[in-house]
Structure formats: structure tokens, C-alpha cells
Amino acid sequence: MSSSITLDSQLTYIKGIGPVLGQALASLGIITVKDLIYYAPRRYEDFSNLVEIKDFRPGLISTKLIINNVVGRYVRNGLHITEALGSDETGSVKLIWFNQPYRQKSIKTGVNYYVSGKFELSSRRFSIMNPALELESDFPIVTNAILPVYKVNKNISVNQIRRSIRNVFNQVDQIEDFMPSDLIKKTKIENLTTALRNLHFPESIEDLDKAKYRLSFDEIFSLTLVSLKNRDLLKKNHSSIVEFNSALAQKFVGLLPFKLTNSQREVIWRIYQDLEHDLPMNRLLEGDVGSGKTVVALMAALMVMNKKWQTVFLAPTEVLARQHYETITKLLAQLNLESKVDLLVGSMTKKQKELVKDRLKSNEILLVVGTHALLEEDVKLNNLAFLIVDEQHRFGVEQRKKLQVNSTKIPHLLTLSATPIPRSLALTFFGELSISRLSEKPNETTQVETKVVSETNINSVYDVIKKEMTLGHQVFVVCPLIIKSNIGQSKNDVNSIYNELTRLFPKFRLGLMHGKLPAKEKEAVMRQFVRHELDLIVSTTVIEVGVDVPNATVMAIFNSDSFGLAQLHQLRGRIGRSDLKSYCFFIGDDDITKNERIKSLVKLNNGFELAEIDLKMRGPGAFFGLSQHGLTDLKFVEFSDLSFIRSVKAVAQQFFETGELQKYKQLNNKVNQLSSIKTLD
Ligand code: ADP
Ligand code: MG
């Protein structure tokens, strides 16, 4: 049996893993042999430095003891105490646990345990407080023990996972290494089996470091190959060459009601260069809310229009599409080009849509602003040369595929996003994407007063909300759709907050919006808010995208800690869009005022810096878009280690460019497989 086991075998084929354990593992998402051996420990208990009782000093200690006399009792205020006596050949010591009544039953007396905890004074006597215990018999290696601790759930214990992993390793002793052996030698990385073994059963911290190095090397190496491969595939396509017309650009800039920022100038210049090549542009333009991405995109479209080719400008919602349409027609009117622009959104009548489609078909319209509806309609764009995708939280690839007219030419693609991607992530995930940033904001709007508020002080927020609405200003309240709370009833979900506020502010007009509403209703609520037919809107983060309501002066966000910093910063960008004084409240439980992550929002007003903080504190999963690539399961890369990422990328690049990849079937397959789920090309 064991000879036929591969990495993809179901775990239930492994001796020692029955159906019950198999199901328990599956509840953690561990189905195959590969899932299990790549199940990275969350942390390690280090028992490699054991101290005998006679040598105990106050502080953290690790030791090996036999435990006896386990007694549990309740003392005042429902506090539970478990006490036990631990001993070794040199003496004995008291162990104390607070509020862990299960200890009394779970501890086996008379056998050896590894014990780690704080040795400190308690009721005038030194004891080990709340120690962690591990049965000595559970250890794979008796000496130098560094024990992995895995994330578990109620179906399975850490020890069951350890045992299962050991079982797997006993049977799958030879995992095939997909890295070419030359490369392993050259880069001095460990071979895969050793690395994985040391990940789970390290005998020293150095072993562990080497294992992690190899496994993070793998991650960056394969992702880079995927990027390079995708870039190569893109190169097989062609786009229209859009020549730069300097007189037109100057004329347009001269007619603008403002002066372009230096950032805008630099970015437009880069885009013009891209457009002059037949290599399809694949550029992401990042910039904080209000940094002026729209005009940059429009200037690019202008050159395409000048060639009598067509541009599609996709917005995430109808409200935004209409806003863009209005801004754009106004700006293009000065060049007498407004008749070349039109709008196509879902709520238009069939007749209206047909008219637009006809005019698109005849190439009368050169720039069409629209929503997803545009992709669903059967639109003929025979001269499509350029696609702009605004705030879609995806990178426009699918859209480009859908709009592609013929197989020889694909449109240039420009994606606009207010969500900043930290450098290290950009390098790792978006290697095939050219990225530009608008690093300055044109008219630094009124500073928004930002406060972190605990729910106990929620009335101070309500006071401001009431005052502002009385002044005729508008308010955003944002909360999660549902909150799962393990202590009873959920409360801060969008419905409860809406009900609460309706009760508190009966004289004002309140609206409710969340992602579960049909698109039409969402649009309707948003439109009412834009027209000031609503004073306050309670919403989930669906309002996040760039809608402009200059009269809104308050943003109050419940359960702030459940959101990413960049996202919170984006929400804050919804207010302070006029010279009205504005207020942003980040609300949370009592601890929120001590939450360093959330507090950085008070200090920083720059999306890029905030994104870096989020990456450090929450990891890459915190960034949208990544989950859609099916590549979020990067477990080992330290994204703070930019020089490591760069050096591995360089190795991969050389490997790719010398055509080595084709020679290694296993690695090549792996890259192809990743490439097909990663749809960024
Ligand atoms: P975002 O990057 O968030 O999409 P917009 O493109 O909507 O920002 O621009 C925000 C506002 O700033 C718009 O009203 C736009 O006309 C204005 N704007 C853009 N560039 C400049 C500039 N260089 N100087 C002054 N205002 C500008
Ligand atoms: Mg925008």
C-alpha cells in the first residue's frame, strides 16, 4: 500500500489515520498527504533547554517533571484554581492554573511531562503559573526537543496532528523534490524532504531556520516563474500603437481648471510611452482617494480617441459611472469632443441601450463609460483599443478577455485602484504588472479629525452625528454585515445599528445599504444619498468605492478592528471632500483605544504607509484581490524581507531566461498549474 502513496493521496489511505481522524483533519482543510506535511506550525515550544528544580530562577522556565496530587476548587468570585505538585530528582514545585478546570481530569499522574511557564511568587510561595504541559511520551525525539504547536479546532488536538504528521513521514519517506538538483546545490538550499521534516521535528533553531528558508524560497521562486511565464504569454498578443500627440496633450492640459501634480505628469508620461508600443499595456495606477486618477486615465483615452479608436471606461457602480461620465463630458466639452462620449448602465431602458450600442458599432462613440452591464450587453466594439477599469478590486483581466474583439489585437489595459499594494507584495504577486503610483494629492482637502472610540463612549459619536445632521450635513455609518459573537447575541451588524439609529434620530432620513441587497436597490439608496434625500446611510463596506458626496462630514465605523487599515483609510476618504470640517470615528470594543494598528490611523494619513503596517501585522491575506488568485496560501515568506525576495527573484529570472524551466517537467507543471489559477496575465 505505502508504495502507492503520493503527495496527492487522501490521508485516509495512511496507516494510523482512520475515518474519524480523517474527518477531524478535513475540518481543518487538511485532506491530502500534501496538505498535512505543508501544515505549518503556528509556533514552537522550546524544551531544548531544560532546568532542574534546584536550579530554578524566577522567570520563564522549561523543565521535565512528574506530576501528582492534582486538585481543583472554586474560590471567591467564581475563580477556579487547579493546583498540582511537580517533582524531579532534585526537588518539588507547585503548579497553579487559573480557570482551567479541565486540567484536573486531563493530567496523567506519575508520568513525565515537559512543563513550561513562569516561575514566580504566588501567595508568598514560588510556583509555576499557568504552565503549558506536554507528555514526554508524545515527543518524537527525546532530547533537544523543540515542539511544534499547530492551529487546531474542537475536533482535533495538537497531539493528534503531531502524530498524524509522524505517520505520514514514516510512510512517505521520499517526497520528490521539484527543484532541480543543480539549483539546490548552487543556491545552497536544503532538499525538500529535509526541510519539511525539520519544519515539524526540528532538533535546533538552526534546523528550523534552514527549513523555513527553503520553503519560502520555493514560494517566491515559483511565483516569479509564474509571473515571467504570464508576461511571456502576454507578449504573444498585440495592441494598437497609439501615437502621442503633443499638441493635443498640451491643449487639454491648458484647458484644465487646475494644474496637474508632478506625480500625475510622470504617470501620464509613462502611460503614453506604453501606448506607443504594440506590446499590450498592463498597468496598475495606484493612488489614494482624491489623488486624481481619473484625469490621468482620461488623458490616456484622449490619445486613443485622437486615432478614432475606442475606449471603454468601467466603473464598479452606476453612481460612479454617472459621476465619471459627467466629469469627462465636462472636460472634453472644451475640445468639442463631448459628443464622442456616452454612458451605458444597467438601469437604462432597452431603447436607450440600443441607441448607444448602435452608435458604438458605427464608431460614432469613442469613449463609453459604463458598469458591468456593458460586458453583459452584446456590444460591438470594432475599434476597441483601450480599457480602463476603475476600483474593481480585480485587475481587469477578465474584462479584457470579455471585450476582446478579435484574436490578433487586445486592448491596452489600465487599472485604477485606491488600494495600495506594499512593495514586497507587488514584487511577489504582481511581477508581470507595471505599477505606477500617484504619491501626492492635488488639493490636500480639509484635515479630517480622526478619533478612536470605544463603544462605551458611543454617545459622544452620536452627539457629533446629531449636530452635523442638524447643520444639514450628511453621515456615513459603516458596520460589518453580520457579526459572529461567541458571547450571545450579535449586535453591531448593519440591521441592528440601523434600527438603533432610527430610534435615536426619528427626525432624520436614514437609509440602509448592504451587499445582500439587489444591485438596483443599492444604486437607488446610494443615489438618494448623493442627492441629499437621505441624511444618514448605514452601510457595509460596499460604499467604499470612490463615490463623491462633498456634503458628508461624518464617517463612523463600527468594529473597526475587523477591517484592513487601507480599507479604513479609504472609507475615511469618503469625507473631508469639501471645506466643511469633517470627523472620522473608528469604533470598537474597550480595547480599541489601546490597539496600535487602529491608532496608526490617527497618526498617518497615507494609504501606502498604512498598507505596509497592515502587511506587517496581518500578513498578505489582509489584501483584497489576493484571495481571488488562489495563492493566498503563502505560508513561509516574510514579506518584510525585501532583499530576500529580490534575491530569489533574480535567481528565478536567470533560470527562466536561460530556458531551464522547460527541462524540468515537474517544476514546469507546477508553474503551469499556478499560472492557470493566477489570472493576472
Ligand atoms: P481618485 O484618484 O480618488 O479617483 P479623482 O480622479 O476623482 O480622484 O479626483 C478627485 C478630485 O480632484 C476631482 O474633483 C478632480 O477633478 C480633482 N483633481 C484631479 N487632479 C487635480 C489637480 N492636479 N489639482 C486639483 N484638483 C485635481
Ligand atoms: Mg476614483
Task: Render pLDDT for 625-645 as a digit per residue (tens, 0 to 9).
Answer: 544 444 556 778 887 788 898
Q: Which ligand is in closest contact with the Cα of 316? A: 2
* Whole-prediction pTM: 0.73
The arithmetic mean of pLDDT across residues 113-126, rounded, is: 88
Q: What is the pLDDT of residue 221?
A: 93
What is the CA(557)–ligand 1 centre distance, in A? 25
Q: How far apart are CA 258 and CA 539, in angstroms?
A: 34
Q: How far apart are CA 131 and CA 114, in angstroms?
A: 10
Q: Which ligand is in closest contact with the Cα of 264? A: 1
Q: Which ligand is in closest contact with the Cα of 286? A: 1
Q: What is the pLDDT of residue 489?
A: 43
Q: How far apart are CA 210 and CA 216, in angstroms?
A: 10
Partners of residue 416 on adjacent β-strands: 285, 390
Q: How far apart are CA 155 and CA 115, in angstroms?
A: 24
For residue 14 the three cell numbers come to 495512511
Q: What residue's CA is closest to ligand 1, atom 19?
A: 292
Q: What is the pLDDT of residue 95?
A: 96
pLDDT at 544 over 70: no
Q: How far apart are CA 622 and CA 425, in angstroms?
A: 11
Q: Is the dihedral of CA 491, 492, 498, 501 positive or negative?
A: positive
Q: Which of 425, 444, 441, 445 minimizes the C-alpha distance to 433? A: 425
Q: How far apart are CA 584 and CA 468, in angstroms?
A: 12
Beta strands in 376-426 (DSSP E): 384-390, 412-417
What is the CA(166)–ligand 2 centre distance, in A? 53
Q: How far apart are CA 18 and CA 12, in angstroms?
A: 6
Indicate the SS3 state at residue 121: strand
Q: Which of 369, 330, 316, 331 minimizes the C-alpha distance to 546? A: 316
For residue 301 the three cell numbers come to 483615452
pLDDT at 408 over 80: no
What is the CA(289)–ligand 2 centre distance, in A? 7
Beta strands in 89-181 (DSSP E): 91-98, 112-122, 125-135, 145-149
Q: How far apart are CA 329 and CA 325, in angstroms?
A: 6
pLDDT at 82 over 50: yes
Q: How far is CA 64 from the centre of its chain?
A: 42
Q: How far apart are CA 391 and CA 286, in angstroms?
A: 10
Please compute Rg for the chain using Cα positions: 30
Q: What residue's CA is closest to ligand 1, atom 18?
A: 292
The arithmetic mean of pLDDT across residues 87-94, rounded, is: 95
Contact call for residues 648 and 221 (beta carbons, < 8 A): yes
Contact call for residues 414 and 388 (beta carbons, < 8 A): yes
Q: Which of 456, 415, 407 minimizes the C-alpha distance to 437? A: 415
Ligand 1 pocket list (CB less than 6 A): 258-261, 264, 287, 289-295, 418, 442-443, 546
Indicate the SS3 state at residue 317: coil
Q: What is the pLDDT of residue 483?
A: 54
Counting every residue written for the chain, the total comes to 681
Strand pairing category for 384-390 and 367-370: unpaired
What is the CA(350)–ligand 2 centre distance, in A? 28
Q: What is the pLDDT of residue 545?
A: 61
Q: What are phi and psi of 583, to 5 degrees?
A: -135, 135
Q: How far apart are CA 148 and CA 107, in angstroms?
A: 20
**Predicted confidence band of residue 482 (pLDDT cuts 50, 70, 90):** low
pLDDT at 493 over 60: yes
